[in-house]
Structure 1
Amino acid sequence: MTLAATVSRPARPTPDAATAGLPPAVPEALTVSLPPIAEMRRAMLAQDASYDGVFFVCVTTTGIFCRPSCPARKPHPRNTRFFGSVRECLLAGFRPCKRCRPLAVDGGPPRWLAGLLDRVEAQPAGRITDQDLRDAGISPHRVRRYFRRNFDMTFQAYHRARRMGLALEALKRGTDPLHVALDCGYDSNSGFRDAFEKTIGATPGRSNRLTVVRTRSIETPLGPLVAGATDDGVCLLEFADRRALPRQVAALKRRLSAAVVPGDHEHLAGLAGQLEEYFAGRRRTFDLPLVRPGTAFQERVWDELTRIPFGQTCSYAEVAQRIDRPTAHRAVARANGDNRLAILVPCHRVVRQDGSLSGYGGGLWRKRRLLDLEAGVAAACGA
């Protein structure tokens, strides 16, 4: 949102010119349900990334539009307009900001971070200091903010977890622990053992009993999602800013006897692609293997959630009726909240008896946007 140059308000382009080269249009339903003006201004001034995808900031003096988290200098409030979709911004005559790249919703890491992640993968046993980041032209503060927001850990903790995750995989393949320790940059087996146990939660000797859950961040129009998968399927999908995420991860580790480490997996790559199609209005169902350990009651509720048709909603009481537990609507609500697979197991489609929204860990505004998206796609397809 740079104000280096003051230009006149751009002329409104034709729809064809404004949307040339874009993905298929997001349904019109996504142009509604904006937060209050005061809330959007606060989010813009605070560079609150949790609002990325909820709305876009258009600057009338420069003719550009940005994400709320754009790091550029902020405009005066009287020079801003707010829209709920990229398409609206373009049709109003604004062009995308080159700093925050509001058109980029490909599910991958930002371009400025790609080289750093490549370096971690190429040299997992190495050490990358703040000075190394500065020498590479990357702000350590920016790196810290990204990893806190997307992984709830520092970059150094991420690098260490990635290193220990690779060590865990090597141990499970039968590699000698001493060789693994040396490959991780440790001079002694005892130092490696202590670091491994602190990160993984088990000693190297017990590692063959653990299930490995690999996790990564997936960018979406509604903010980053933390996704996790075992070799059997996707086991975690939650918005990164959800307060209950640490509790959900702890429950997953306990139920699967798992170690949770950063990394990628073919299931996660497939998930990122299908989520991109979902948010573009091109996908209604997901065809990924799911791992969702829970109690017998929770599993019955989650099964029923997957039967709620795309574009429709159901009340907690109706779900209770469908699983033959008509008085258990509160227990249904708790099972809904314990769902660790947001969007895939569509707990956002469950509403109150009167149709109002309640109880969504990712935030009611996200629940509204998901329902608006699905209703718009269903209406556009005549179903």
Structure 2
Amino acid sequence: MLFSRPSDTALYSALLNRDSAWDGRMFVGVTSTGIFCRLSCPARKPKADNCRFHETAAECLDAGFRPCKRCKPLEHGMEPLVADLSAKLNADPGRRWREDDLTALGLDPSTVRRAFKRQLGVTFLELARLRRLQEGFAALGGGERVIEAQLTANYDSASGFRSAVSKLLGLAPGAFRDDALLRCAPVSTPLGPMIAVADDHALHLLEFMDRKALPTELKRLSERTPGGLGFGRTKTHAMVANDLEDYFNGRLREFQVPVKFHGSPFTQAVWRELQAIPMGQTRSYSQLAAQMGRPSAVRAVARANGDNQLALIIPCHRVIGADGSLTGYGGGLHRKRALLDLERQAAPLP
């Protein structure tokens, strides 16, 4: 970018004012809807905590957001060539595009490549592949089988689809097997999409999809599981989805889905202590250590807290600094704040 990026507060103000001066220069992704827009979009404005500002449409797509059908961020204010092809892509996001298709339209592939790279930060063919992958991954989240999601994404082979999703998740294609008992599938939440890994008996991992540690956690889980990981949904995924819906609607005080801990005895003890924190309340690391009878183990407690791979269910977001500050959270401080606010409102009065 050739300009200094303003603060999120200033960008949110521009969003509220529908400031068209930022069209093509900044975009907003809305975690509660999974959609990204121009700042001048006429749609109802989201809460500030649900906004993620990006400098290019490519960044929004990489983060998992789909273009808004109302303000059409891939088309508005673009060169006619870019706008026309973007409209064609939006009309059929599952279509597989090749250079020959561009030539058949009377277009020079090199010209198209440069135009899209200049305006969107990504080539047209890269954009088309990303949109196809998003369609397939959304199908997985909707409960479709891998083969159905693969066809939705217009991939010729299951291996090609696995390879593309594997790249998104940071795992090699060979890590995902058709006969695996542990299955990966996306789960939608008001705070953004999550990845749930489960078998028919228990949930093994639940993380926000944009968590930086997710690829490392998935790799570690794959390596310690003899059958590896696969794509698809189990009956446990349905339980997770129901629990999360009730949780975010304020109807759930304790998660009911069975879980499987992967950690040392001390780490698991910390996680159980975290689960014992009542909804609507918080603890500091030193308080947790003291409650465990290990007052000098504050740093070890903090490490165990960071190793949690069952977000929300093991409520590490309920740990705050001794001074009352929010401190860090793998899912982002904006989510931590939103979760604590939600739980304070939902918690029963003493």
Q: TM-score range by the shorter chain?
A: 0.5 to 0.7
Distance 1:38 1:150 in 2: 35
Q: Write the deviation string for residues 149-194 of structure 1: whole angstroms up to 9, x where unpaired.
A: 997xx99xxxxx946xx9xxxxxxxxxxxxxxxx979xxxxxxxxx
1:130-141 aligned at under 5 Å gives the runs: 130=97, 141=127
2:173 partner amino acid? T
Are residues 83 and 184 of structure 1, via their aligned partners in 2, closer, same or farther at CA, if it must alter by over 3 Å? Answer: closer
Relative to structure 1, is the Cα distance of residues 235 and 330 closer, same or farther in structure 2, using a 3 angstrom cutoff? same
Structure 1 vs Structure 2 CA RMSD:
4.4
Aligned 8 A contact 1:213 1:260 in 2: yes
**Equivalent of residue 231 in structure 1, options 200, 208, 221:** 200
Write the distance in 2 (CA, Å) between the matches of 1:43 and 1:337: 34
Moved more, 301-310 or 255-264: 255-264
Superposed counterparts of 1:301-380, under 5 Å: 301-378=270-347
Counterpart contact for 1:256–1:293, Cα < 8 Å: no
SS of residue matched to 1:294:
coil
In the alignment, is the contact (CA less than 8 A) between 1:43 and 1:68 conserved in 2?
A: no
Distance 1:264 1:278 in 2: 20
Closer/same/farther in 2, CA of residues 146 and 267 from structure 1, 3 Å limit: farther
The alignment covers a number of residue pairs equal to: 253
CA-to-aligned-CA distance 1:275-310 (integer Å, 9 cap, x gap): 011111111111111012111111111111110001
Using the alignment, how far apart are the partners of 1:364 and 1:43 within structure 2? 21
Match of 1:37 among 9, 17, 29: 9
Verify the 8 A CA contact 1:130 1:140 in the aligned structure 2.
Answer: no
Superposed displacement of residue 230, structure 1: 1.7
Match of 1:52 in 2: 31
Q: What's the offset of the Cα at 1:377?
A: 1.1
CA contact (8 A) 2:15 2:45 kept: no
The answer to whether residue 54 in structure 2 is matched with residue 75 in structure 1 is: no
Measured against aligned partners, the alpha-carbon deviations of 1:184-216 in whole angstroms (never above 9, x if no partner) come to 79xxxxxxxxxxxx63349x9xx98xx532111
Percent identical pairs in the alignment equals: 38
Segments of 5+ residues of structure 2 without an aligned counterpart are 1-6, 17-21, 51-67, 72-89, 102-124, 140-144, 151-156, 160-171
Pairing of 1:84-163 with structure 2 (within 5 A): 99=70, 129-130=96-97, 141=127, 144=130, 147=133, 162=146
Q: Secondary structure at the match of 2:184?
A: strand
Q: Distance in 1 between matches of 2:44 and 2:158?
A: 51
Provide the C-alpha distance between the structure 1 equivalents of 2:246 and 2:31, rounded to a whole number of angstroms. Answer: 18
Q: Is the 8 A contact 2:97 2:128 kept in 1?
A: no
Structure 1's unaligned 5+ residue stretches are 1-34, 54-66, 87-96, 101-112, 118-127, 156-160, 167-182, 186-197
Per the alignment, residue 382 of structure 1 pairs with 349
AA paired with 2:237? Answer: L
